[in-house]
C-alpha cells in the first residue's frame, strides 16, 4: 500500500488538533509543529505552585455544535454554571437569571432594579427570536455593533450598563459592546440552548482530550517555524522540511511571504487569581462589577481539588499599569465586593492575544476556501469568529480542503 504524503500542521491549538484528527481519519499521519512545550494554544490549564489555574477565565458552551461532535462531554466531568449572574453595583448585590430554567430567580430578577419591566419583556422576546433563528441566518444578517443592536431592540441604558456591558465584556473582551451583533446573537443563542460549563480538571482538559484522540500524529514541541512556502517549511535554526501539504493555524501573516490582509488584530485581557477564605458570590455563579471606574469586570469563585476557595478576576483595563498596582487595586475591590477576609494573591496572567478582533464574522465556509497558497491551508478561529466552535470548524475545514485537494476534487 502506497504511503500517504506527510502533512505538517503549524500549531497545536484547538484547530490544529481537530485538523490532525480529521487527517488521521483519512489515513494520514500528520506532524504537528508547536513552538511551545505543550498543546492547547489559548485553551490551557497551568500549574502554579500547587494550584491548577486556567489561562484566563474560560467556559465551554455545551450547545456548540462542534463541541458535541468532537468532545466526550461526559468524560470532561463538567460543572454547570448557573444561567444568570450576580450584579455588583452601588454597594448592592443582585442575582438575576433565567426563570424558565430556575424558578427561584424569578422574583429576584423581576425586582432587581437592573432593568425595567419592559427590559424583562424584551429579554423574553430576544430569547424567542434567537430560539427560532438558525446559525446560518445569524451569520448572514447585516452587522451592527452589539450596543446599537441592543438599543434598537429597545433595551434601556440601565440594563445595558448594568448587565449587558459587564457580562458580554467578559466574553467579547471589550467594554463598549462594539463587537459584531452576529457574535452577540450567536453567543446568546448558545447560552439559551445550553449551559456555560467548566471541566472539573480545568479548561485544559478539552485540549488534553483532543490530543489523546490522536494515535497517528507526531508532535514536535519547542519547535518554531520561521517561514513556509509551497515547497519548503523552514524552522528557526535553518532546518528545512519538504512541504507536501501544510495547515497553518496561527501567525500566518508572519510565516507566509506576500500574504495579503492576513494580519490579525487582537484583544487582550488580564486574569488575576487569589486564594480567599470566603466569598459572597453564590456557588457556580459569575459575578459582574457594574460600577464605573473599577478594574474588576467579572469574578468567579470555586473550590479546587484541595478544597481551597479560588477567586478568578478578569480585568480589561490593565494597559499602562504595573503588576503591583493592578494586583493591589483588584485585591481591595474584591475585599469590598466579595466580603473576603484573608486574601492571598497567587498569580496573574496577561494574555495579549486573548481573542481575535474581527469584522464580517462567519460561521463556516467551503473547504476549498482554506487554501491560501499552493500546498498551504489556513485554520484558526481568526477565520470565522472568536470562539472554540470556530476554532474546531476551521480545523475541520482546512483538513477537508487539503484532503479534497490531494484527491483532485479542486485545483
Tens digits of pLDDT across the chain (411 residues) = 345 789 999 999 999 999 999 999 999 999 999 999 999 999 999 999 999 999 999 999 999 999 999 999 999 999 999 888 889 988 988 877 664 555 454 444 544 667 788 988 898 899 999 999 999 999 999 999 999 999 999 999 999 998 999 999 999 999 999 999 999 999 999 998 999 999 999 999 999 999 999 999 999 999 999 999 999 999 999 999 999 999 999 989 889 987 755 678 999 999 999 999 999 999 999 999 999 999 999 999 999 999 999 999 999 988 889 999 999 999 999 999 998 989 999 999 999 999 999 999 999 999 999 999 999 999 999 999 999 999 999 999 999 999 999 987 765
Q: How high is the pLDDT of residue 120?
A: 83
25 to each of 46, 82, 170, 369, 409, how far by Cα in Å? Answer: 30, 37, 36, 21, 18
> Which cell is 37 given?
512545550
List pLDDT tens digits, range 125-172: 999 999 999 999 999 999 999 999 999 999 999 999 989 999 999 999
CATH dotted code for 47-62+266-356: 3.30.70
**Which residues are 235's β-sheet partners?**
225
Instruction: Indicate the domain borders of the chain.
Output: 8-44+204-264+359-406, 47-62+266-356, 79-197
Q: How far apart are CA 71 and CA 205, in angstroms?
A: 10
Q: How high is the pLDDT of residue 1?
A: 33
Q: How high is the pLDDT of residue 106?
A: 44
Q: What is the pTM of this model?
A: 0.94
**DSSP letters along 221-242, please?**
-S--EEEE-SSEEEETTS-EEE
In terms of Cα–Cα distance, which of 66, 19, 69 is closest to 41? 19
For cell 438558525, the residue is 134
Q: How high is the pLDDT of residue 101?
A: 59
CATH 3.50.50.60 fits 8-44+204-264+359-406, yes or no: yes
Q: How far apart are CA 248 and CA 395, in angstroms?
A: 10
Amino acid at each position: 500500500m502506497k504511503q500517504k504524503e506527510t502533512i505538517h500542521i503549524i500549531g497545536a491549538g484547538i484547530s490544529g488538533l481537530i485538523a490532525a484528527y480529521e487527517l488521521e481519519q483519512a489515513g494520514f499521519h500528520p506532524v504537528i509543529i508547536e513552538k511551545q512545550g505543550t498543546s492547547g494554544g489559548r485553551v490551557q490549564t497551568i500549574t502554579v505552585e500547587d494550584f491548577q489555574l486556567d489561562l484566563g477565565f474560560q467556559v465551554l458552551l455545551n450547545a456548540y455544535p462542534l463541541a458535541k461532535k468532537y468532545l466526550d462531554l461526559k468524560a470532561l466531568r463538567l460543572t454547570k454554571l448557573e444561567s444568570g449572574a450576580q450584579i455588583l453595583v452601588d454597594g448592592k448585590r443582585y442575582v438575576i437569571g433565567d426563570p424558565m430554567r430556575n424558578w427561584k430567580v424569578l422574583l429576584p430578577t423581576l425586582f432587581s432594579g437592573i432593568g425595567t419591566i419592559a427590559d424583562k419583556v424584551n429579554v423574553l422576546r430576544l430569547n424567542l427570536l434567537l430560539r427560532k433563528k438558525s446559525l446560518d441566518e445569524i451569520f448572514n444578517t447585516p452587522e451592527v455593533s452589539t450596543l446599537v443592536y441592543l438599543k434598537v431592540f429597545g433595551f434601556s441604558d440601565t440594563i445595558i450598563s448594568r448587565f449587558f456591558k459587564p457580562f458580554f465584556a467578559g466574553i467579547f473582551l471589550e467594554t463598549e459592546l462594539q463587537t459584531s451583533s452576529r457574535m452577540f446573537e450567536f453567543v446568546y443563542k448558545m447560552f439559551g440552548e445550553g449551559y456555560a460549563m467548566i471541566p472539573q480538571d480545568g479548561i485544559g482538559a478539552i485540549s488534553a482530550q483532543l490530543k489523546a484522540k490522536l494515535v497517528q500524529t507526531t508532535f514536535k514541541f519547542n519547535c518554531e517555524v520561521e517561514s513556509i512556502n509551497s515547497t519548503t517549511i523552514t524552522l528557526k535554526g535553518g532546518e528545512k522540511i519538504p512541504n507536501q501539504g501544510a495547515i497553518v493555524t496561527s501567525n500566518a501573516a508572519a510565516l507566509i511571504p506576500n500574504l495579503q490582509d492576513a494580519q490579525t488584530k487582537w484583544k487582550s485581557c488580564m486574569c488575576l487569581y487569589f486564594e480567599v477564605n470566603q466569598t459572597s458570590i453564590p456557588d457556580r455563579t459569575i459575578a459582574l462589577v457594574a460600577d464605573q471606574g473599577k478594574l474588576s469586570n467579572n469574578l468567579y469563585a470555586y473550590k479546587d481539588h484541595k478544597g481551597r476557595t479560588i477567586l478568578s478576576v478578569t480585568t480589561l483595563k490593565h494597559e499602562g499599569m504595573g503588576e503591583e498596582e493592578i494586583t493591589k487595586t483588584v485585591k481591595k475591590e474584591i475585599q469590598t465586593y466579595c466580603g473576603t477576609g484573608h486574601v492571598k494573591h497567587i498569580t496573574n496572567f496577561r494574555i495579549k492575544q486573548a481573542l481575535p478582533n474581527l469584522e464580517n464574522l462567519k460561521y463556516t465556509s467551503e473547504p476549498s476556501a482554506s487554501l491560501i497558497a499552493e500546498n498551504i491551508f489556513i485554520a484558526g478561529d481568526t477565520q470565522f469568529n472568536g470562539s472554540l466552535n470556530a476554532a474546531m470548524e476551521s480545523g475541520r475545514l482546512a483538513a477537508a480542503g487539503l484532503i479534497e485537494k490531494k484527491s483532485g476534487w479542486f485545483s
